[in-house]
Amino acid sequence: MTSVTLKSPAISVSLPEGFTEEQLLSFSPFNSWLKTLSNSLSLQHSNPKHPFHKDPYALRSIAVQSYDLFGGKHVGFLKIQAHVTNSAGESLPGAVFLRGPSVGMLVILIPEDAQNAEEERYVILTIQPRIPAGSLAFAELPAGMVDDSDEGKFAGTAAREIYEELGIEIPASELVCLSDLAAAADNDRKSTADGEEEGLPSAMYPSAGGCDEYIRIYMHERRVPRDTLKEWTGKLTGLRDHGEKITLKLVPMHDLWREGLRDAKALTALALWEGLRREGKLQSKL
């Protein structure tokens, strides 16, 4: 273990053998997490109504416990322990798995000859191995990580993942961000959520108790020939040379809550889609 002191904020960070300060600071999820946490901690002092205002918590130190490299050189995942306490010696849970943001895609298909689109919407799910879940056939919405080169280009990442996983080419400009629409609908009511004050993104956090990952949900709806639906059902896709073994599954929209019950992305997308339609914020163009 080696120890370094960051300049802003001035925090002591212990690093495992073989891992450098340069690698740490080049990992944008770490920088984003530290910036967001520092901002949230500062609110304790500036806001007299903050629940921790009388005895604010502070980030005392950080220990990098382990790391994974992608391609043998780029940091992909970090496991850290943040030491956060107040003057009374009370601590907050600080075990964090850092991996950065992702995107999830709700792709809705409607047969061209459908008489009632409301009754014949189909959603594409991917079936693939997810070893962390102990599964070789996990059903979920198409999704992908946003790497450093894509930071801030979430729609572009979504479009790329749709092409790689589904084989469908969709311009990023034709994707609708349900997460942004939901945030805008909240702003219309002129309400300010605590998360907004802290600078949290408009996105879903699937495991906020242990991971920094947040997922922005995108949607695309299109009409296709009915034969295409049959062709895509059971189709093998994905970047096979990258270890992706993906099988497509089309499910009726009204069954998504059941078919995607284990997938936080699917349940979030469905809730956003239904809520936005209910409030008139999302209109079908088909």
Q: Is 166 found in the same domain as 30?
A: no
The three-point CA angle 80-81-82 to 5° equals 115
User: pLDDT, tens digit, for every residue of 38-59?
Assistant: 999 999 999 999 999 999 999 9
Q: Is 134 found in the same domain as 177?
A: yes
Residue type, 159: A
Which residue in 248, 106, 84, 123 sits closest to 176, CA to CA? 106
| Cα 158 to Cα 156: distance, rounded to the nearest angstrom | 5
Residue where one domain finishes, among candidates 69, 98, 127: 98
Q: Please, are residues 157 and 165 in contact by the beta-carbon 8 Å criterion? A: no
Phi, psi of 37 (to 5 degrees): -65, -40
Residue where one domain finishes, among candidates 68, 98, 128: 98
Judge if pTM exceeds 0.85.
yes
| Cα 57 to Cα 88: distance, rounded to the nearest angstrom | 9
Judge whether 170 lies within some domain: yes
* Residue 174: other Cβ atoms inside 10 A: 11
CATH number at residue 33: 3.30.565
Q: Is 119 found in the same domain as 87?
A: no
| Cα 134 to Cα 62: distance, rounded to the nearest angstrom | 30
| Average pLDDT score, the chain | 89
Q: Name 65's Cβ contacts closer than 8 Å, sequence gap at least 6.
A: 16, 79, 80, 81
Residue where one domain finishes, among candidates 98, 124, 143: 98
Res. 237 pLDDT band, cuts 50 70 90: low
Tell me which range, 46-50, 154-158, 181-185, 213-217, is most confidently predicted by mean pLDDT. Answer: 213-217
| Cα 276 to Cα 171: distance, rounded to the nearest angstrom | 23
Q: Which two tokens stand for residue 269?
A: 């997308």
| Cα 267 to Cα 264: distance, rounded to the nearest angstrom | 5
Note the residue count of the chain.
286
User: pLDDT, tens digit, for every residue of 79-95?
Assistant: 999 999 999 999 999 99
Q: Is 58 found in the same domain as 136?
A: no
Q: State how many domains the chain has.
A: 2
User: pLDDT, tens digit, for every residue of 238-267?
Assistant: 544 555 688 889 999 999 999 999 999 999
Which residues span the domain enclosing 258? Answer: 102-278
Residue type, 187: N
> Does the pLDDT at position 191 exceed 50?
no
Q: Is 122 found in the same domain as 89?
A: no
CATH number at residue 134: 3.90.79.10
| Cα 220 to Cα 159: distance, rounded to the nearest angstrom | 10
272 three-class SS: helix
| Cα 202 to Cα 214: distance, rounded to the nearest angstrom | 9
Judge whether 284 lies within some domain: no
The arithmetic mean of pLDDT across residues 12-23, rounded, is 95
